[in-house]
């Protein structure tokens, strides 16, 4: 095995690859917010129109394929499964450099690379790791997470989708819901009930081919009006036993791995490129509403800034702690709770500033578009574990309190 | 961007933290604060403990090396304040290190700095800054205390309200007006025409005084008319120090509440098993973690001269003040009846929280400053 490159050498390698294939981001176009210019969309959930979404796929696949072939597709992954075997510092080096380039990026792959890949790495067989992890990091395979059901939300362990053994195969029947990206996915991680054993003992995880006969994906329209999620119906879907993830009856353990990664991914996100937390955009809204000199609005504006900035500072402090090798502690879960609270407060503030312009679309730029925040905020309190479930978890695991009664 | 290395303790900072924590644990049990409050003349700070702080170099921490100091940054200072906040330290550290040192350094008056800072660094000189008057504001907008030229020096006349450790300070840095100019003046604790009255304090671990000046001799510190900008800068420093104190105090309250919720049984179950209690404790945990992080961030931003520092200072002040107050309110609630007794420590922190949130500037002030500084 060859010597590991230093982060400086690695940075040079990354720079060389990215500059050969992508152009640098145009600086001013990204930073400057100019009132009335361009789209006034305020994006809370990824709700692209299906055609635009399909159109974006080839570029994302090509981005991943290129990285994979250049040895940059899975920087921290074990070498025996095609990874580069480098450190988290190398990964961060890559991310820092990639941010300067106009690349498709991995934001559409958060569930696959951020949640499902770590789960397969932890629980999968070598054969599964070779097949799925290579496929995911090289852009050939997109993945989704099939956990929630109409009857199993916060109480995920009560899923009723059944998997019944049939020789070397399993036959799956049931319904999943709130499945992001199911319509674009090649496979999914699914939790099924496989026995009548006790709670948490009766579940098994599988990797299911989303193109298999009997899998039906329907878009699920949420209260914002858009459709960021799907319902997935399973009707006698055959899954080979080689695609069972971990042992029979260990599905709960597998699900917990994925959920922990989900909270990390959500808690650490700061709305990515959605731009809704841009101070300047909120300040401009206040100015254009003629309220910049209103002392009450100024107070409320500052109170909102305190919330948003404290969350940001805390993220930075915990990133520093993680880098220094200190345990990140409870930050992922409490950040996620803060995120949903802040989102609701942001909605309240902009609605107060907009007044009747939040009630009706007057056609004025940058006004009614904010409805997506107040319509989307409730979803943030529910997704990735409701605020209440997360508080139960933190109470038990961080504060060491007994299980809630 | 604040450097990541400034946001988390290095080995020296961890040692400093542990040493301060141990010192207070050994020498400053909270029982002393309660006992002091029952003394006929009210509580007094422990001079021997002050000597211990000085021996540890805490007073020299932020003093530059050329004035016999250790030349450390706001980050180390903040580590100390967080620990002092945990232990509810009672003594003139905030006044001396949190107000007077930044005021002297900010004045850029080399002669005054050389005269006063070494004494402060050694722990010999207890110092404070006296700004607040009738309007209750820690600024110079309506300073009424007057300064009159008197030979080579000045004479001050006026009244300063709620001066932190004003009754114990050997050196008082006082704002006073001469015509349009508001300037900073040094007044010796034993100067003539100086009357200092210790006031009853909501926070039993803080000493506050009324300071009356009547033709009191004084020395100009820094440029004439420089006080408005200087005091604004001192206020930011002090607020970040207080934010760290608040974060440390909030952590203790959380720990105390969690411990109680694990042992106190009602209806045959420990109360921490009830969601109504458990969720309250998680809310407190969030406030504690966010307080510690934002206080640290603000200190690091000041230490590095980061562009975010002026906003971060007020964000930390606003957040930590409110968080500490809420955490102490819920700490009393989590403890039930026992938490409402004089004998329990809850009220010591509760008093500190309310007092420290209003000592220099309140939430509305912070919000106004944040909106201004962001440029709305």
Under 8 Å CB pairs connecting chains A and B tally to: 148
Report phi then psi at B212, rounded to 5.
-110, 135
Quote the pLDDT of residue A405.
Answer: 66
Are A320 and B4 within 8 A, CB to CB?
yes
Query: Which of chain A's residues have a Cβ under 8 Å away from the Cβ of B274?
Result: 404-405
Chain A residue with CA closest to B364: the answer is A299
Q: Predicted confidence band at A325 (pLDDT cuts at 50, 70, 90)?
A: confident
Q: Which residue has the higher pLDDT, B208 or A269?
A: B208
d(CA B311, nearest CA chain A) in Å: 9
d(CA A34, CA A38) in angstroms, rounded, equals: 8
Average pLDDT, chain B: 97
Quote the pLDDT of residue B231.
Answer: 98
Could you state, in order of their start, the residue ranges of all structural domains in chain A? 42-142, 144-249, 270-398
DSSP letter assigned to residue B200: P
**CATH 3.40.50.10540, domain A270-398, yes or no:** no
d(CA B303, CA B77) in angstroms, rounded, equals: 10
Residues B189, B190, B191, B197, Cα dihedral to 10°: 70
Report phi then psi at A270, rounded to 5.
-120, 50
Closest by CA position to A333, among listed A275, A261, A229, A405: A261
- In the predicted model, what is the mean pLDDT of residues B49-72? 96
3-class DSSP state of B210: strand
d(CA A302, nearest CA chain B) in Å: 5
Chain B residue with CA closest to A329: the answer is B289
d(CA B45, CA B42) in angstroms, rounded, equals: 10
Residue A270 has pLDDT above 50, yes or no: no
Query: Which of chain B's residues have a Cβ under 8 Å away from the Cβ of A329?
Result: 289
Residue B61 · residue B69 · CB < 8 Å? yes
Residue A96 sits at the chain B interface (C-beta within 8 Å): no
* Tokens at A145, concatenated: 């997470």
Question: What CATH number belongs to B128-224?
Answer: 2.40.110.10
Q: Which residue has the higher pLDDT, A331 or A196?
A: A196
Q: Tell me the residues of chain A between 328 and 387 that have a Cβ less than 8 Å away from chain B.
A: 329-331, 334, 337-338
Chain A residue with CA closest to B262: the answer is A401
Quote the pLDDT of residue A274.
Answer: 36
Closest by CA position to A256, among listed A203, A208, A209: A203
Quote the pLDDT of residue B318.
Answer: 98
- In the predicted model, what is the mean pLDDT of residues B48-70? 96
Are B275 and A392 within 8 A, CB to CB?
yes
Q: Predicted confidence band at A32 (pLDDT cuts at 50, 70, 90)?
A: low
ipTM value for the complex: 0.95
Quote the pLDDT of residue A37.
Answer: 85
Quote the pLDDT of residue A319.
Answer: 84
Give me the residue label for tokens 């290129």. Answer: A66
Residue B229 · residue B260 · CB < 8 Å? no
d(CA B66, CA B114) in angstroms, rounded, equals: 9
Quote the pLDDT of residue A330.
Answer: 62
Mean pLDDT check: name the lowest of A192-201, A332-341, A344-353, B167-176: A332-341
Residue A259 has pLDDT above 90, yes or no: no
Q: Predicted confidence band at A264 (pLDDT cuts at 50, 70, 90)?
A: low
3-class DSSP state of B237: helix
* Tokens at A4, concatenated: 């590991």
* Tokens at A38, concatenated: 């361009």
Facing residues of B174 across strands?
B130, B185
Residue A273 has pLDDT above 50, yes or no: no
Quote the pLDDT of residue B107.
Answer: 98
Q: Predicted confidence band at A164 (pLDDT cuts at 50, 70, 90)?
A: very high
Could you state, in order of their start, the residue ranges of all structural domains in chain B? 4-125, 128-224, 229-373
Residue B260 sits at the chain A interface (C-beta within 8 Å): no
* Tokens at A303, concatenated: 């109170």
d(CA B136, CA B92) in angstroms, rounded, equals: 21
Residue B2 sits at the chain A interface (C-beta within 8 Å): yes
Query: Which of chain B's residues have a Cβ under 8 Å away from the Cβ of A305?
Result: 311, 315, 370-371, 374
Count Cα atoms within 13 angstroms, Cβ side, for B5. 4
Mean pLDDT check: name the lowest of A365-369, B299-303, B353-357: A365-369
Q: How far is CA B127 from CA A339, B96, B164, B173, B287, in A?
A: 43, 5, 10, 8, 32
User: How many beta carbons lie within 10 A of that of residue A371, not counting itself?
Assistant: 21
pTM of the shown model: 0.91
Q: Tell me the residues of chain B between 306 and 335 that have a Cβ less than 8 Å away from chain A.
A: 311-312, 315-316, 318-319
Average pLDDT, chain A: 90
Q: Which of B278, B294, B315 sits opposite A395 (nearest CB)?
A: B278
Quote the pLDDT of residue A271.
Answer: 38
Q: Predicted confidence band at A404 (pLDDT cuts at 50, 70, 90)?
A: confident
d(CA B272, CA A405) in angstroms, rounded, equals: 9
Are B315 and A306 within 8 A, CB to CB?
yes
Q: Which residue has the higher pLDDT, A385 or B140?
A: B140
E strand or H helix at B120, and its extent?
helix B110-122
- In the predicted model, what is the mean pLDDT of residues B190-208? 97
Residue B372 has pLDDT above 70, yes or no: yes
Are A320 and B8 within 8 A, CB to CB?
yes
Measured in residues, chain A has a length of 405
CB proximity list for B145: less than 8 A, separation 6 or greater: B133, B156, B157, B158, B159, B160, B174, B175, B176, B177, B213
Residue A99 sits at the chain B interface (C-beta within 8 Å): no
Q: What is the pLDDT of residues A66-91, one digit of tens each?
A: 999 999 999 999 999 999 999 888 99
Q: Predicted confidence band at B66 (pLDDT cuts at 50, 70, 90)?
A: very high
Closest by CA position to A203, among listed A193, A218, A213: A193
Q: Which of A89, A287, A305 to mutate to test the interface with B (most CBs of B within 10 A)?
A: A305
Q: How far is CA A302 from CA B220, B310, B315, B368, B374, in A?
A: 37, 13, 9, 7, 9
DSSP letter assigned to residue B6: G
- In the predicted model, what is the mean pLDDT of residues A46-50? 70
Kindly state the percentage of chain B with pLDDT values over 70. Answer: 100
Q: Predicted confidence band at A26 (pLDDT cuts at 50, 70, 90)?
A: confident
**CATH 3.90.79, domain A42-142, yes or no:** no
Residue B337 sits at the chain A interface (C-beta within 8 Å): no
**Which active-site residues of A does the annotation give?**
262
Residue A2 has pLDDT above 80, yes or no: no
Q: What is the pLDDT of residues B233-274, one digit of tens each?
A: 999 999 999 999 999 999 999 999 999 999 999 999 999 999
Residue A326 has pLDDT above 80, yes or no: no
Question: What CATH number belongs to A144-249?
Answer: 2.40.110.10
**CATH 1.20.140.10, domain B229-373, yes or no:** yes
DSSP letter assigned to residue B131: -
Residue A306 · residue B243 · CB < 8 Å? no
Residue B185 · residue B219 · CB < 8 Å? yes
Residue B299 burial class via C-beta count within 10 angstroms: exposed 0-12, middle 13-18, buried 19 and up: buried
Homologous superfamily in CATH for domain B4-125: Acyl-CoA dehydrogenase/oxidase, N-terminal domain (1.10.540.10)
Q: What is the pLDDT of residues B11-56, one digit of tens each?
A: 999 999 999 999 999 999 999 999 999 998 888 999 999 999 999 9
Q: Tell me the residues of chain B between 271 and 310 that have a Cβ less than 8 Å away from chain A.
A: 272-275, 278-279, 281-283, 285-286, 289-290, 292-294, 296-298
Mapped to the 3 state alphabet, what secondary structure does chain A carry? CCCCCCHHHHHHHHHHHHHHHCCECCHHHHHCCCCCCCCCCCCCCCCCCHHHHHHHHHHHHHHHHHHHHCCCCCCCCCHHHCCCCCCHHHHHHHHHHHCCECCCCCHHHHHHHHHHHHHHHHHCCHHHHHHHHHHHHCCCCCEEEECCECCECCCHHHCCCEEEEECCEEEEEEEEECCCCHHHCCEEEEEEECCCCCCCCCEEEEEEECCCCCEEEEEECCCCCCCCEEEEEEEEEEEEHHHEECCCCCHHHHHHHHHHHHHHHHHHCCCHHHCCCCHHHHHHHHHHCCCCCCHHHHHHHHHHHHHHHHHHHHHHHHHHHHHCCCCCCCHHHHHHHHHHHHHHHHHHHHHHHHHHHHCCCCCCCCCHHHHHHHHHHHHHHHCCCCHHHHHHHHHHHCCCCCCCC
- In the predicted model, what is the mean pLDDT of residues A199-204? 96
Q: Which of B17, B280, B317, B376 to mutate to test the interface with A (most CBs of A within 10 A)?
A: B376
Q: Which residue has the higher pLDDT, A325 or B290?
A: B290
Query: Which of chain B's residues have a Cβ under 8 Å away from the Cβ of A402?
Result: 262, 269-270, 272-273
Are A334 and B376 within 8 A, CB to CB?
no
Are A302 and B312 within 8 A, CB to CB?
no
């Amino acid at each position: 095995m060859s010597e590991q490159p230093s982060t400086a050498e690695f940075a040079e390698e990354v720079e060389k690859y990215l500059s050969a294939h992508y152009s640098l981001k145009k600086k001013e176009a990204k930073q400057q917010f100019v009132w009335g210019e361009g789209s006034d969309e305020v994006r809370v959930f990824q709700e692209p129109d299906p055609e635009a979404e399909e159109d974006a796929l080839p570029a994302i696949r090509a981005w991943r394929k290129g990285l994979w072939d250049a040895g940059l597709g899975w920087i921290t992954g074990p070498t025996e499964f095609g990874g580069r075997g480098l450190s988290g510092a190398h990964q961060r080096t890559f991310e820092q450099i990639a941010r300067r380039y106009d690349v498709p990026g991995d934001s559409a792959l958060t569930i696959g690379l951020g949640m499902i890949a770590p789960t397969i790495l932890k629980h999968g067989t070598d054969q599964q790791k070779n097949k799925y992890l290579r496929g995911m990091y090289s852009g050939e395979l997109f993945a989704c997470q099939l956990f929630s059901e109409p009857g199993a939300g916060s109480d995920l362990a009560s899923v009723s989708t059944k998997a019944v053994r049939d020789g070397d195969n399993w036959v799956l029947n049931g319904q999943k819901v709130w499945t992001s990206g199911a319509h674009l996915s090649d496979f999914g991680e699914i939790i099924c009930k496989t026995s009548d054993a006790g709670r948490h003992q009766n579940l098994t995880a599988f990797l299911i081919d989303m193109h298999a006969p009997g899998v039906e994906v329907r878009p699920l329209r949420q209260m914002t009006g858009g459709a960021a999620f799907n319902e997935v119906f399973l009707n006698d879907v055959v899954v080979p036993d080689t695609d069972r993830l971990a042992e029979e009856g260990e599905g709960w353990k597998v699900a917990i791995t994925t959920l922990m990664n989900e909270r990390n991914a959500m808690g650490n996100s700061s709305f990515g490129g959605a731009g809704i937390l841009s101070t300047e955009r909120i300040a401009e809204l206040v100015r254009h509403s003629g309220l910049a000199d209103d002392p009450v609005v100024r107070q409320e504006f500052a109170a909102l800034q305190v919330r948003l900035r404290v969350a940001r500072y805390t993220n930075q402090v915990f990133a520093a702690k993680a880098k220094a090798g200190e345990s990140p502690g409870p930050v992922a879960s409490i950040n996620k709770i803060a995120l949903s609270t802040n989102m609701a407060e942001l909605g309240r503030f902009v609605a107060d500033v907009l007044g009747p312009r939040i009630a009706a679309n007057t056609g004025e730029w940058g006004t009614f578009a904010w409805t997506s925040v107040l319509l989307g905020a409730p979803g943030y309190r529910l997704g990735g574990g409701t605020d209440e479930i997360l508080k139960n978890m933190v109470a038990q695991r961080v504060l060491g309190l007994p299980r809630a009664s | 961007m604040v450097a990541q290395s400034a946001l988390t303790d290095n080995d020296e900072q961890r040692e400093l933290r542990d040493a301060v924590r141990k010192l207070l644990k050994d020498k400053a049990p909270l029982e002393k604060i309660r006992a002091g409050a029952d003394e006929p003349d009210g509580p007094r700070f422990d001079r021997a403990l002050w000597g211990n702080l000085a021996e540890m170099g805490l007073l020299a921490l932020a003093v530059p090396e050329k004035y016999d100091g250790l030349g450390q940054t706001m980050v180390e200072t903040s580590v100390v304040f967080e620990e002092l906040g945990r232990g509810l330290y009672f003594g003139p550290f905030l006044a001396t290190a949190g107000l007077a040192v930044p005021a002297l350094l900010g004045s850029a008056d080399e002669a005054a700095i050389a005269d006063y800072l070494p004494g402060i660094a050694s722990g010999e000189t207890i110092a404070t800054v006296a700004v607040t008057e009738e309007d209750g504001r820690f600024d110079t907008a309506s300073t009424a205390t007057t300064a009159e030229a008197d030979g080579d020096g000045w004479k001050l006349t006026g009244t300063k309200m709620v001066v932190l450790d004003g009754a114990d300070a050997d050196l008082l840095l006082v704002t006073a007006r001469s015509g349009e100019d508001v300037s900073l003046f040094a007044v010796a604790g034993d100067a003539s025409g100086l009357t200092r009255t210790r006031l009853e304090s909501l926070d039993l671990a803080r000493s506050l005084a009324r300071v009356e000046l009547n033709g009191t001799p004084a020395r100009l510190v820094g440029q004439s008319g420089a006080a408005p900008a200087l005091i604004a800068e001192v206020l930011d420093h002090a607020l970040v120090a207080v934010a760290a104190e608040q974060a440390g105090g909030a952590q203790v309250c959380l720990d105390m509440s969690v411990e109680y919720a694990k042992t106190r049984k009602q209806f045959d179950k420990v109360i921490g098993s009830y969601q109504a209690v458990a969720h309250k404790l998680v809310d407190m945990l969030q406030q504690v973690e966010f307080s510690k992080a934002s206080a640290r961030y603000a200190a690091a931003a000041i230490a590095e001269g980061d562009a975010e520092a002026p906003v971060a200072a007020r964000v930390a002040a606003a957040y930590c003040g409110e968080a500490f107050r809420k955490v102490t309110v819920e700490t009393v609630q989590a403890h039930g009846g026992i938490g409402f007794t004089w004998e329990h420590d809850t009220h010591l922190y509760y008093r500190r929280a309310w007092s420290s949130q209003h000592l220099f500037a309140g939430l509305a002030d912070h919000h106004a400053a944040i909106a201004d500084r962001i440029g709305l």
